[in-house]
Amino acid sequence: MKKGVKIFSVELTLWILTLLIIFFSIAVLRYSIFKRLKSNSAPAFLESEKIQREVFGKIMPHHDIKIAGSGSNLPLVKVLASIYRQINPQSEITVYESIGSSGGVKALRDGVIDIGLVSRPLKDGEKKYGFLEIPYARTIAVIGVSSDVLDDGISTKELIEIYSGRKKRWRDGRWITVFQRESSDSTNEVFFRFLPEFRKANEEAYKTHRFRVIFTDREMLDAINESSGGIGPVDSGAIVSQRLPIKQLKINGILPSYENVENGLYPYVKTLSFLLRKDGTNEAKEFVEFCLSAKMSEVILSQGYLLPKK
């Protein structure tokens, strides 16, 4: 009996010691965490930057640039980004698919991208963010048609008749396949500014669902290119830079060319701009500076775009 009591006493002592060790370990751990939080020592990622400062005299660049916004900018920006990567292979540049000018503004505002792309002037409500708006190119807004369309020009009267549903065939009798962009599209806005009747025809077509409405530049180009007798508002630069077989119609006999834009005969033009935060990364600023260089100006012109007005 005494032997049994002795064994039980030893086991109880061991259990008590074990519990004391566990409580002591928890207390030490909590104290260690509390001391770390109270101390001025930086977490690992900040310690890394501290080491970089000590070794290199500065924080080494992260080489990660995220770009997004208007689809009108994408063909040219993708070319510029590709050249930049070749010259700076350590740089990581991601050019996302179209989220529109408004989407680019919001994404930059929220800090999820480094550079926003816009193809229209900033709205009053967007100017309050204080972004740096940097024009880098212009593109000519055109009425594009499928390669099987024999017409090489259109009058503004005919254009309005087509979108009003009154004119339904091309001159050779081929049916016209009409494609619309949404009313807020920047290419549409260029034509609306000069042709209020064209705006009215589009608004009526939206209400009656008369035509197919397309929401991105890429889809509009594909729709015209793949259709028979197709027509829609597009950008000249996107057609030229991607070597697409889409015809660009003369409007009222005026060819959509560099010369006719510069001499004021062809007014349908829009400006493409970068948006930067004033506290943006050095990498983003360096990329924009690269795009504004003399060498890249040559590339911009070779891709079918115009340089911004000075």
Q: Hey, what CATH topology would domain 64-138+272-302 get?
A: D-Maltodextrin-Binding Protein; domain 2 (3.40.190)
CATH 3.40.190.10 segments of the chain: 64-138+272-302, 139-269
The neighbour count for residue 304, using CB atoms within 10 Å, is 20
Contact by Cβ (8 Å): 149, 218: no
pTM: 0.78
The answer as to CATH 3.40.190.10 being correct for domain 139-269 is yes
Residue located via tokens 């050095």: 282
Query: pLDDT tens string for the chain (310 positions)?
Result: 444 445 556 566 666 666 666 666 555 555 544 444 333 333 333 333 443 344 334 444 455 899 999 999 999 999 999 999 999 998 899 999 999 999 999 999 999 999 999 999 999 999 999 999 999 999 999 999 999 999 999 999 999 999 999 999 999 999 999 999 999 999 999 999 999 999 999 999 999 999 999 999 999 999 999 999 999 999 999 999 999 999 999 999 999 999 999 999 999 999 999 999 999 999 999 999 999 999 999 999 999 999 999 8
The two structure tokens encoding residue 6: 């002795």
- Give the β-pairing of 153-154 and 250-251: parallel
Query: Distance from CA of residue 234 to its chain's centroid?
Result: 17
The rounded distance, in Å, linking the Cα atoms of 213 and 205 is 10
Longest dimension (CA), the chain: 118
Which DSSP state fits 173? S
Tens of pLDDT, residues 55-107 = 334 444 455 899 999 999 999 999 999 999 999 998 899 999 999 999 999 99
